[in-house]
Structure 1
Amino acid sequence: MRPQDHEVLILDGACGTNLQEMIIPFSAWEGKEGCNELLNLTAPDVITALHKSFVDAGAMVIETNTFGASRIVLEEYGLQDKVKELNTAGVELARRAINGKANTYIAGSIGPGTKLPSLGHITVDELIAAYQEQVHALVEAGVDMLIIETCQDLLQIKTAMTTCFEILEALNTDIPVMASVTIERTGTMLVGTDIAAAAVTFEPFPILSFGMNCATGPQDMESHIRWLSRNWPKRISCVPNQGLPEVVDGKTCYPLTPEQYAQEMKRFITDYGVSIVGGCCGTTATHIKKLVETLEGVKPGAREVSA
């Protein structure tokens, strides 16, 4: 069975916020604190354990720890020559955690990087070269799907999608590609694009799904998900944070309990026909376990999409 054949696809939870709670040897950072992707090489048991916690919770899709494993980001840490090594290791660690479990898949995570072409931070040609390198490494390592996520710039995500499909064609590989944007509390992406403009831009691409992740919790995503339900003809994904972060005693906390989070996701599936769900910042294996339990037997509600 392929990932796209499941009525509801359940992704894993957060990477970064969970790593912050795990015991990681100081030496593993090699003076490059903040580069989570380096841990694929220096602390592989930590990354495998994180992935396995989500596998044990029942997640159907495990995202590789490669969100920032493009040359664009790695250059900031002096690791630009380790793109292939870090992405390949990221896939292998996810595979090790899954350990052959049926109907559990590896998604190659591709983040937006730290430079947006629409703001003149980087040229499109430079962006293409960086994505080609990362996508080629992920596909060759054997991912089951690709997810372009946390996107804030239409030009950036169009470049990433085009590159993904060109690489897949060149490697004669047919795997699904997901696209997910981040809508701020202002109601738009960072560069000012709303969900409608993004949907119109991406509709011609043969992507499996389009949706949202990060920045906010379910409540602030609802109006945008409702719009997609009525206007987006393909599958919808919704991967929110564990609510809006709050600072308590100097520490960032996320308010939604596993039960609250799971019920919000269930409602999005039944009310708006969302068929791909998962967790972003703050969500733990406990949240994903409750989500899996809550969604047992639940099917996406019918949608009437405007022509």
Structure 2
Amino acid sequence: MQPHDYEVLILDGACGTNLQEMAIPISAWDGKEGCNEVLNLTAPEAIIALHTGFVEAGAMVIETNTFGANRIVLEEYGLQERVEAINRAGVENARTAIGGKADTYIAGSIGPGTKLPSLGHISVDELAGAYKEQIRALAEAGVDLLIIETCQDLLQIKTAMTSCYATLEAMHLEIPVMVSVTIERTGTMLVGTDIAAAAVTFEPYPLFSFGLNCATGPADMESHIRYLSRNWPGRISCVPNQGLPEVVNGRTCYSLDPLGYAQEMKRFVMEYGVSVVGGCCGTTPAHTRQLVQTLAGVKPAVREVLV
């Protein structure tokens, strides 16, 4: 079976917040503290262990540790010439964790980067070049899906999407492309775009799924998911944080327990027809395990799309 054959596709959980809880020695960072992606090369055993936890919890899709593995971001750490090596290693680490499981897929994670074109931080051409380089490396390494996630800028998303499709066409490959935007508690993306404008913008593209991740927990995503349920013709994804972050004794904490998280996801599937679910910041293998159990036998609601 392929990813599109599943009624509900379950992604894994958080990368960054789980790495923060692991006993990774300072030496493993090779002087690049803050660059999770370098660990693909310097501490592959840690990344494999991270992925393995989610595989054992029942995740159907494992996202690679490549969220910031494009030239623009890596240049901040002096790693701009290691783009291909880091992305390839990210895929191989995920593949090692999956082992021989034929029903578990690898999604190449593509983050927004640190420079937004709509704010004049970077030109579209430079951003497109960086995306194409990363996408080619992920595709050559054999990912099953590509996910453009945590997006805050329509121009950044369009640049990433068109780079995906152009690169895949040039490589004569067909790999599903997912897009996930981040809506702040203000009700819009960072640059002021609401979910309606984003949906209209991306509706013409042949996306595997479109939805939300990060920034908030399920409660603050509900109105946006409801809108997509009525107005987005394709698959809807919902990948929330483990509730809203709180700082307790100097540490960032998330309060939504696995059962509460899984029940919210089940409701979104049954009421709004969400068919791609997973976890963002704070979610652990325990959240994934509970999600798998809670969604067993559950089918997405049949939606009446208005468009």
Normalised by the shorter chain, which TM-score bucket? over 0.9
1:182 match? 182
Amino acid at match of 2:105: Y
TM-score with structure 2 length normalisation?
0.99
Residue-by-residue CA offset, 1:247-268 (whole Å, 9 max, x unaligned): 1122111000000000000000
Aligned equivalents of 1:61, 1:73: Cα separation in 2 = 25
Helix, strand or coil: the match of 1:180?
strand
Amino acid at match of 1:95: R
Q: CA RMSD in A?
A: 0.5
- Length, aligned pairs only: 307
Shift of 1:302: 1.1
TM-score with structure 1 length normalisation?
0.99
Aligned equivalents of 1:248, 1:169: Cα separation in 2 = 48
Amino acid at match of 2:74: L
**What does 1:29-108 correspond to in 2, within 5 Å?**
29-108=29-108
Aligned equivalents of 1:97, 1:134: Cα separation in 2 = 22
**What does 1:157-172 correspond to in 2, within 5 Å?**
157-172=157-172
Amino acid at match of 1:94: A
Helix, strand or coil: the match of 2:252?
strand
Shift of 1:294: 0.4
Stretches of 4+ moved more than 2 A in 1? none
Shift of 1:298: 0.3
Amino acid at match of 2:247: V
1:121 match? 121
1:300 match? 300
What's the % identity of the aligned pairs?
78
Query: Which runs of no fewer than 5 residues in structure 1 stay unpaired?
Result: none
Helix, strand or coil: the match of 1:107?
strand
Aligned equivalents of 1:32, 1:264: Cα separation in 2 = 37
Aligned equivalents of 1:4, 1:88: Cα separation in 2 = 24
1:256 match? 256
Aligned equivalents of 1:216, 1:302: Cα separation in 2 = 26
Amino acid at match of 1:61: V
Aligned equivalents of 1:175, 1:37: Cα separation in 2 = 23
Aligned equivalents of 2:167, 2:220: Cα separation in 1 = 35
Residue-by-residue CA offset, 1:103-160 (whole Å, 9 max, x unaligned): 1000000000000000000000000100010000000000001000000000000000
Helix, strand or coil: the match of 1:38?
helix
1:193 match? 193
Query: Which runs of no fewer than 5 residues in structure 2 stay unpaired?
Result: none
Residue-by-residue CA offset, 1:183-228 (whole Å, 9 max, x unaligned): 0000000000000000000011111110000000000000000000
2:205 match? 205
2:149 match? 149
Q: Which moved further from structure 2: 244-253 or 67-76?
A: 244-253
Aligned equivalents of 2:67, 2:247: Cα separation in 1 = 25
Aligned equivalents of 2:186, 2:30: Cα separation in 1 = 38
Shift of 1:88: 0.2
1:2 match? 2
Amino acid at match of 2:282: G
